[in-house]
């Protein structure tokens, strides 16, 4: 047995835009253990529900994260709507699914870019982000914001998108699809990518399930679990199957995300085709009383939202269980046995979002 060394990884690390800290225990170059510590960017957003009324809070909850912002807002309003027994118009449901899938495309393209950057493929990184720019433009055109959208409210949406705009966006999405294909090809076939990712950080099906992995991390190990199948928003009327891969390594996680981009584009096409006309918001009367727990599929995996109202305009409690929190344990499981140089890549394959996790 070689001598043991402890090397700190993060919270400031070139590969991670966010502060995740791991104490890596090494024997020579091999890692034998990892001890995480988080809590560098806690902002107390959950506590704020006791001081801001439930309508205002929708804007604040969206700011939990800059990437899955829309779905955080959606999770919050969906929970409150369930507590209050509000049924939102059909068009609002479709638009929520539409924007949710647009968020997925934007998040996965961002992640693919970061991943390319992590294994040193800078030009691939830039090309991924070039395509992502088109998606952000669609967001800005339809919601008014590029990162934070502020369109969800309890009872529906603040903004409607007219049919002509949607059809034109359908055309832009076809271009996005065309732009992604050559890049996806690089991720799936290129020698340099394969050499770096195949067989790295394998998580078996049983391990993934027992350790509570969620999202692409879970599906890359062959478990077909996707919270969208619960049929919230308009997902009950849309056709899709969870994307799965069986290898459970870094390459499989890349493949799942690449295929999910195509799936999301297809779901958006269905949304545009099937979207009924009409209003996008109903009037909401009274205050939330009671509790509810809802599950939504974020780009990073399943997120759980819990809300409890007491009949006043302030909530008693709101809680978010974010996908990164669930994926940290599988991450700690795949790190031991790897080389030190693989840790940045492995940390990135769970698509860590620390600002979500700490709120």
Partner 1 sequence: MAFNVIGKTVMKSLFGKPATAMYPVIKNDFYPLTRGAIELDPANCIFCNLCAKRCPTEAIEVSRPDRLWTINRTRCIVCNFCVDVCPRDCLTTVRQYTAPMTDKSAAVITVQGPAKES
> What is the x/- site pattern for partner 1, positions 13-52, by CB under 8 A?
---------------------------------------x
Sheet containing 301-310: order of strands: 289-298, 301-310, 315-321
Q: Which of 130, 168, 174, 274 binds partner 1 (CB under 8 A)?
A: 130
Taking contact as CB under 8 A, which single stretch among the options 140-148, 167-175, 213-221, 319-327 is the one that binds partner 1? 140-148
* Residue 235 parent element (H or E): none
* 228 lies in the site for partner 1, by CB under 8 A: no
Burial class (CB in 10 A: 0-12, 13-18, 19+), 311: exposed
- The conformation of residue 269, written as its DSSP 8-state character, comes to H
- Write out the binding residues for partner 1, residues 66-105 only, by CB under 8 A: none
Smallest distance from partner 1 to CB 121, Å:
8
Stretch that binds partner 1, among 3-11, 90-98, 137-145, 166-174 (CB under 8 A): 137-145
283 binds partner 1 (CB under 8 A): no
Q: Is 8 helix (H, G, I), strand (E, B) or coil?
A: strand
Nearest by Cα to 192 from 129, 115, 257: 115
Which x/- pattern, by CB under 8 A, does the window 158-197 give for partner 1?
Answer: xx----------------------xx-xx--xxx--x---
**First-last CA distance in the chain:** 41
- Total number of residues that touch partner 1 (CB under 8 A): 31
57 binds partner 1 (CB under 8 A): yes
Cβ proximity to partner 1, 124 vs 267, nearer residue: 124
> Binding to partner 1 by residue 122, rule CB under 8 A?
no
The interaxial angle of helices 54-62 and 69-84, nearest 10 deg, is 160
Burial grade of 272 (CB within 10 A; 0-12, 13-18, 19 or more): middle
Strands 301-310 and 315-321: antiparallel
User: Minimum distance between the CB of residue 131 and partner 1, rounded to whole angstroms?
Assistant: 9
Q: How many CB atoms lie within 10 A of CB 227?
A: 21
Binding site for partner 1 (CB under 8 A): 52-53, 55-57, 59-60, 63, 123-124, 127, 130, 133, 140-145, 148, 150, 158-159, 182-183, 185-186, 189-191, 194
């Amino acid at each position: 047995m070689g001598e043991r060394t402890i090397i700190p990884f993060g919270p400031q690390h070139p590969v991670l835009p966010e502060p995740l800290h791991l104490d890596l225990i090494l024997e020579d170059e091999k890692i034998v253990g990892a001890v995480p510590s988080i809590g560098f960017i806690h902002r107390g957003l959950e506590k704020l529900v006791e001081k801001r009324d439930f309508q205002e809070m929708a804007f604040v909850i969206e700011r939990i994260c800059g990437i899955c912002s829309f779905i955080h807002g959606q999770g919050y309003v969906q929970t409150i709507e369930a507590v209050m027994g509000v049924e939102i118009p059909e068009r609002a449901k479709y638009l929520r699914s539409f924007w949710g899938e647009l968020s997925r495309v934007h998040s996965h393209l961002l992640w693919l870019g970061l991943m390319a950057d992590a294994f040193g493929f800078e030009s691939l990184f830039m090309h991924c982000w070039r395509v992502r720019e088109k998606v952000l433009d669609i967001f800005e055109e339809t919601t008014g914001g590029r990162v934070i959208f502020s369109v969800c409210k309890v009872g529906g949406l603040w903004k409607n998108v007219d049919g002509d705009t949607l059809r034109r966006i359908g055309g832009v999405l076809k271009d996005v699809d065309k732009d992604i294909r050559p890049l996806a090809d690089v991720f799936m076939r290129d020698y340099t990518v394969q050499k770096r990712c195949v067989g790295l950080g394998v998580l078996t099906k049983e391990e993934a399930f027992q350790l509570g992995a969620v999202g692409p991390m879970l599906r890359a190990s062959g478990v077909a679990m996707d919270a969208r199948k619960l049929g919230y928003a308009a997902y009950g009327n849309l056709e899709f199957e969870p994307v799965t891969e069986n290898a459970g390594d870094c390459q499989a996680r890349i493949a799942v995300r690449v295929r999910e981009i195509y799936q999301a584009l297809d779901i958006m096409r269905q949304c545009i085709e099937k979207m009924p006309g009409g209003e996008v918001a109903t009037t909401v009367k009274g205050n939330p009383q009671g509790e509810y727990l809802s599950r939504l599929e974020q780009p990073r995996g399943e997120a759980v939202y819990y809300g409890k109202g007491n009949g006043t305009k302030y909530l008693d409690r709101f809680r978010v269980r974010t996908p990164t929190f669930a994926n940290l344990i599988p991450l700690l499981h795949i790190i031991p046995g790897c080389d030190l140089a693989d840790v940045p890549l492995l940390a990135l394959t769970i698509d860590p979002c620390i600002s979500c996790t700490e709120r």
